[in-house]
Amino acid sequence: MNKKEKLNNFLSPIEEIVDEARNGRMFVLVDNEDRENEGDLIIPAQMATPDAINFMATYGRGLICLSMTKSRIDELELSPMGRRNPGKLDTAFTVSIEATKDVTTGISAADRAKTIQVAIDKSSGPSDIRTPGHVFPLTAREGGVLVRAGHTEAAVDITRIAGLNPASVICEIMKDDGTMARLNDLIPFCKKHNLKIGSISDLIRYRVNNDPIIKRKNNNLLSTKSYGDWNIFSYENTVNKNGPEHLALVKGELNNISSVLVRVHISNFINDAFDGVIGNFEDNGYISLKESMSEINKNGSGLIVVINYQDSSHILSNYINGNNIWNEEDKIRENGIGAQIIRDQGVKEMILLSKSKREVVGLEGFDIKVIDQRNPLKS
């Protein structure tokens, strides 16, 4: 048994973590080594007492934040902290907040606990909150960890599964020397404070098995002139049923292949209509759908996942107005939609088609591994 396996033996099943939340007990969630590789103290927001806030401030030492659903953020009319978020993990901070009544300076544990209770109270509105303040709200992505494998989404997912108000207070855990605590540091920390520790990967796995958001709808045969026959599958996002459907193009039989050639194609009107003939497509590492189909056809088998994020008119106007239309390609690093489709097609190990080596994070919970990457123009 290697060191990682020994450390993982200390992780509690997600069912136990949900039970801790349901009973108002604090717990720790750790994310993957290929992401932040950090642990957060988490407690359901409705159980966030002054003592809980003080514990986080004393022993967690990180920033104390309030994870909430997008709908609740909208109800409170909280705007994003900044229009630009260059961080690769795209944490969705809003402006900081304070309760308008029954607080003093706002920074004490009691004041922050009061602000949190006001923020999650359904009877509270924008007039009950002022900005800036000493509590930092975070907007969880709709779809939770199946869309973004972050602590923000995990904290809301756990409380929702537990049947509680879908909001949590979270705080990163730092060591005595001010550096971030990793899993091997978090285990003695949790033992000392009698806290259970779970992983976001296990939460993803739990949700995939019990609460998926991507559902297969239809399939048919797709015959092409240049690339042979494919099976085409359509998928819907159950969180956004009015949104665009996603597709899977399957060449050959994948069941008996140990390592499947896979391309995740971010579809938009400009990319696909002009098919790579515009210069800045090449500059952004764009691989056309034709290139992907050609490479997989030569290989004899493989999978193309076509992700549809936006409608074509929105993308066209963005391009004409000179706005960046390439950021969705980067977001696939955090997006679990493609991973759910890949998993549904039975792929466990894949060779990723990409023009440049890309760090693909958050796949562990989907039981998918990227074992290699291939540039179709060099094969």
Domain boundaries in the chain?
A: 3-207, 214-374
- Per the listing, tokens 């039970």 go with 19
Whole-angstrom CA distances from 38 to 45, 91, 179, 182, 330 are 21, 14, 10, 5, 22
**The token pair that represents 367 in the structure block:** 């039981």
Q: How many CA atoms lie within 13 A of 201 on its CB side?
A: 20
- Along the 379 residues of the chain, how does pLDDT read in single tens digits? 555 656 678 999 999 999 999 999 999 999 875 555 799 999 999 999 999 999 999 999 999 999 999 999 999 999 998 755 555 456 789 999 999 999 999 999 999 999 999 999 999 999 999 999 999 999 999 999 998 889 999 999 999 999 999 999 999 999 999 999 999 999 999 999 999 999 999 999 999 989 889 999 999 999 999 999 999 999 998 887 777 899 999 999 998 888 999 999 887 666 676 665 555 544 455 688 889 999 999 999 999 999 887 555 555 666 666 555 544 434 544 468 899 999 999 999 999 998 877 666 667 788 899 999 998 766 6
pTM of the model: 0.81
SS3 state of residue 167: strand
The β-bridge relationship of strands 246-251 and 302-308 is antiparallel
DSSP result, 217-250: EEEEEEEETTTEEEEEEEEEETT-TTS--EEEEE
Which residues are within 8 A (CB) of 217 and not within 5 positions of it... i.e. 6 or more apart? 233, 234, 235, 236, 245
Q: Measured between alpha carbons, how far is 258 from 83 in angstroms, rounded to an integer?
A: 44
Superfamily of domain 3-207: DHBP synthase (3.90.870.10)
pLDDT of residue 271: 66
Q: Measured between alpha carbons, how far is 368 from 33 in angstroms, rounded to an integer?
A: 15
Domain 214-374's class? alpha beta
pLDDT of residue 80: 93
- Calculate the CA dihedral of residues 353, 357, 361, 367 and round it to 10 degrees: 40
Q: Measured between alpha carbons, how far is 370 from 352 in angstroms, rounded to an integer?
A: 7
Length of the chain measured in residues: 379
**The token pair that represents 309 in the structure block:** 């994020």
Locate all alpha helices (DSSP H) within 215-366, ordered by sequence.
269-274, 279-283, 289-299, 312-320, 327-331, 337-344
